[in-house]
Amino acid sequence: MKSIQVFQPEFLLHGADYNYEQWLGYPDILAEDFRLIREAKCNVMNAGIFSWAMLEPAEGEYHFEWLDQLMDSLAENGIRAILATPSGAKPAWMSQVYPEIRLVDEHGRREPHRLRHNHCPTSPIYRQKVKQMNTLLAERYKEHPALLLWHVSNEYGAHGCHCGLCYAAFRKWLQERYGSLDALNHAWWTTFWSHRYTDWSQIEPVDRSVHGLMLDWMRFISDQVIDFYLAEIEPLQEIAPDVPITTNFMQPNVGLDYWKFAQYVDVVSWDSYPRWHSQQEEWPIGLKTAFFHDLHRSYKRQPFLLLESTPSVTNWQGISRPKKPGLHFLSSLQAVAHGSNGVQYFQWRQSRGGQEKFHGAVVGHVSHGHTRIFQEVTAVGRYLAQLGDLVNTCNRAEVAILYDLQNEWALNLAQLPRSEEKHYQERCVAHYQPFWEKGITVDLIDSSTADLSPYKLIVAPMLYMLRDGIEERLGRFVHQGGTLVITYLSGLVDQSDLCFIGDFPLRSLLGLWVEETDVLFTHDVQSLEAVPNNDLGLKGSYPITHFADIIHLDRAQAMAHYGHDYYAGYPAITVNHYGNGRSFYIAARSDRRFLHDFYSSLSHQLRLPQAIQTQLPTGVTAQLRHNDSKQYLFLMNFQPTSQEISLGESDYRDALSAERLRGVLELEGYGLRVLRLDD
Ligand code: GAL
């Protein structure tokens, strides 16, 4: 495939999924839409996403007139199109004529025609149909003035089709990976429970007791979806080589290795649906959302796009409250603060029927703009229009958290003495939190694609699986002066999910070995007690829960000991001076206060850059986007009440009004301000 471009839009994007085709029988509504789109300061619309049945109502019978009309109207109104390929939902006639395009479940049952996002990723017929359709779209619109970006399919998922075609492809994938059944049997440790395979055709990915098998099945599905995507984009790239490409990602735990996938898109985009108001406090939701935004920036270490978000409510999360006044603005600009080059919504106009008729939209069933939602969306549009200068600036991090999706899959499969509440993703967020609280930008990285050179500090929580030489790269990183933090449950298995025998590979880097891991019930009491004069100045006692490694030191020094039980006095936090750097080991699950104290001290020692040199109140955070000449400071308040922020000695100006700001700035409840640092 051709080399990937970098998508650098000339403006910050503001728009929505526009299901124009649902309203073809309502010309007044369509006319009004364009007036409202302009009024809401939208400059881009996602078009044609689920429109296959309208584009090709019967096999070989194409109707592009309505899409021509839409594209022309967008262009006439100065609005750009993110034009979708329609493979996210197949038409009924196709499912009927070609049953092989429908998914087969684990029990061998083929899906009836229903829902969406449920095609077989292997089916040659579906691939051919998609190719035909994408060829026609690319030929027709490649030079259309409205076309800005391709939106390939919609939210590819890893549903795992169990049809014969997928199984054959899986077995071929395994043959390429292992070469022989002997190698495969060894990698999957199939002598266990007499699972040895004597013929490739015996392999069926339905046995959760063979962890290597299930892990490889997940890898295969992810690869197969990426392969499907690559086939989808072939005609787009050939026919319209200058039009960049994206596909909308979701939260990371959907079974796709987005780290790999991201290499094949020109710009990463994603759909963010936090459950605002679902907890007593809002800021933990803001925190987790920030982590996800940073993840999407990190996939390519470039600005990304928020391609979908709801302007008000969803209708699939059980309970979804309308965003309280101010929160829409804050949550939208939060994405921009973390590197998004725009804000887009699902959906522009609320459907009249079907499953999503009560999902939030910019224009509701009342069909006019005199609503709170419309006004708040318009306010975002106005603000983005005035922040135009900021486009393509980016956030820069000197600290990275290793958040490895394949590690998460393997860890989820593992049956440990404590399998409850492993919570890999949550723990990565817990280690991210102290940085978020201080306004220190964090990148996320993974084991196989990461370039470690930009970072001073790397944090690797629960790095259960070591693959692709990550342990050597981390070792080199520390040796050359980097600082590493690793926790309990790390370095247990190789990339086939086979346990390491003898010395574990992190032994010399960490200067210790792990004898066993205690797992705690909620009534169990354990603590860590800081050793006087330790490397980070930790003091006193902190509670421990869930997991506690019992370790022995080679060269590492103890910074804290356990306080209870038969391993009281054993080391719980250690540091190992290795080459020019240090590697810390956090042997047990600690609480928020500990992580706060630990990382505050470490950030201070390493002089990690803060977006603003001040102590931020709880629930308030800051991000900096910059290029070589400009710096934009985002201050965000995830508390419902106003908060004061001391601006210190620096000279700031409001990014919009240029008003000079000094001293104390009051951020209203759910408030957000963008400031410029005076040069
Ligand atoms: C997304 C999907 C959209 C819409 C939205 C509702 O996951 O891409 O098409 O269904 O959810 O929140």
Q: Ligand 1 in contact with 422 (CB < 6 A)?
A: no
DSSP code per residue over 522-534:
TT--EEEEEPTT-
Report the atom number in ligand 1 closest to the C-alpha of 316.
12
Q: What is the pLDDT of residue 649?
A: 82
Region 103-113: mean pLDDT is: 97
Mean pLDDT value of segment 540-563: 98
Buried/exposed code over 349-380 (b: 16+ C-beta within 10 A; e: otherwise) = bbbeeeebeebbbbbbeeeebebebbebbbbb
**Which positions are annotated as active-site residues?**
155, 308
Q: How many angstroms separate the Cα of 449 from the Cα of each of 95, 145, 157, 246, 468?
A: 38, 36, 22, 20, 9
Whether the predicted pLDDT of 530 surpasses 60: yes
Q: Which residue from 635, 670, 669, 672 is spatially nearest to 650, judged by alpha carbons?
A: 635
pLDDT tens per residue, range 359-368: 999 999 999 9
Asked whether 308 lines ligand 1 (CB < 6 A), one says yes
Let me know the angle formed at the C-alpha of 670 by 666 and 676, rounded to the nearest 5 degrees: 55
The pLDDT value recorded for residue 217 is 98
**β 457-460/483-487 pair status:** parallel
Look at residue 307 and tell me whether its pLDDT is greater than 90: yes
Which tens digit of pLDDT belongs to each residue from 29-57? 999 999 999 999 999 999 999 999 999 99
Evaluate if residue 3 carries a pLDDT over 60.
Answer: no
The per-residue pLDDT of the chain, averaged, comes to 97
Determine the 3-state secondary structure of 541 from DSSP: strand
Cα 64 from Cα 137, distance rounded (Å):
9
CA-nearest residue, atom 12 of ligand 1? 314
- Exposure on the CB side of residue 623, measured as CA atoms within 13 A: 26
Measured by CA distance, the residue closest to atom 1 of ligand 1 is 271
> 319 pLDDT band (50/70/90 cuts)?
very high
What percent of the chain has pLDDT above 90? 97
Tell me, using a 6 A CB cutoff, whether residue 471 lines ligand 1.
Answer: no
Residues 82-91: tens digit of each pLDDT: 999 999 999 9
Pairwise CA distance, residues 327 & 376, whole Å: 9
Pocket lining: 273 vs ligand 1, CB cutoff 6 Å:
yes
Residue with CA nearest ligand 1 atom 3? 346
Range 620-677 has CATH code 3.40.50.800:
no
The pLDDT value recorded for residue 29 is 98
> What separation in Å is there between the alpha carbon of 346 and the centre of ligand 1?
7
Say how far residue 587 (Cα) sits from the centre of its chain. 27
Q: State yes or no: pLDDT of 679 exceeds 90.
A: no
Please say if the pLDDT value at position 2 is more than 60: no
Residue nearest to atom 4 of ligand 1 (CA): 346
Reference 373, options 389, 349, 406, 404; nearest CA is 349
By alpha-carbon position, which residue is closest to atom 11 of ligand 1?
A: 346
Q: Render pLDDT for 329-339 as a digit per residue (tens, 0 to 9).
A: 999 999 999 99
Q: Which atom belonging to ligand 1 lies closest to the Cα atom of 49?
A: 9
Q: State pLDDT tens for residues 440-483.
A: 999 999 999 889 999 999 999 999 999 999 999 999 999 999 99
Our mutation pick for probing the ligand 1 site, out of 154, 346, 350, 351, counting the most ligand atoms within 8 A of Cβ, is: 346
| Residue 549, ligand 1, Cβ within 6 A | no
Q: Does 348 contact ligand 1 (Cβ within 6 A)? A: no
Domain boundaries, the chain: 13-390, 399-606, 620-677
Whether the per-residue pLDDT at 254 is higher than 70: the answer is: yes
The Cα–Cα gap between 542 and 522 comes to 16
User: What is the b/e burial string over 270-290, where b = at least 16 CB atoms within 10 angstroms of the residue's CB?
Assistant: bbbbbebbeeeebbebbbbbb
Which residue has its alpha carbon closest to ligand 1 atom 5? 346
- Does ligand 1 come within 6 angstroms of the Cβ of 314? yes
185 band by pLDDT with thresholds 50, 70 and 90: very high
- Rounded to the nearest angstrom, the distance between the alpha carbon of 308 and the centre of ligand 1 is 8
What three-state secondary structure class fits 47?
A: strand
Could you tell which of 87, 249, 351, 356 is best to mutate to test the pocket of ligand 1, judged by most ligand atoms within 8 Å of the CB? 356
Q: Is the pLDDT of residue 286 over 70?
A: yes
**What DSSP element (H or E) covers 213?**
helix 211-239
pLDDT at 639: 98
CA 175 – CA 334 distance, rounded (Å): 46
Q: Is the CB of 583 under 6 A from ligand 1?
A: no
pLDDT given for residue 678 in this prediction: 64
Q: How far is the CA of 459 from the centre of ligand 1 (A)?
A: 33
Average pLDDT of span 509-530? 98
CA 261 to chain centroid, in Å, comes to 12
Q: How far is the CA of 95 from the centre of ligand 1 (A)?
A: 22
The domain 399-606 having CATH identifier 3.40.50.880: the answer here is: yes
CA dist., res. 442 & res. 459, Å (int): 10
Provide the residue count of the chain: 679
CATH topology of domain 13-390: TIM Barrel (3.20.20)
359 lines ligand 1 (CB under 6 A): yes
State both tokens at 243: 């039009």
Ranges of beta strands (E only) in 97-161 are 147-151
pLDDT category, 402, cuts 50, 70, 90? very high
Contact criterion met (CB below 8 Å) for 87 and 121 = no
Q: State the average pLDDT over residues 373-402.
A: 97
How far apart are the C-alpha atoms of 132 and 2, rounded to whole Å?
20
How many whole angstroms from 127 Cα to the centroid of ligand 1? 23
Q: Is the CB of 312 under 6 A from ligand 1?
A: no
| Ligand 1 contact, 154 CB (< 6 A) | yes
Residue 181, by phi and psi: left (phi above 0), alpha (psi -120 to 50) or beta? alpha
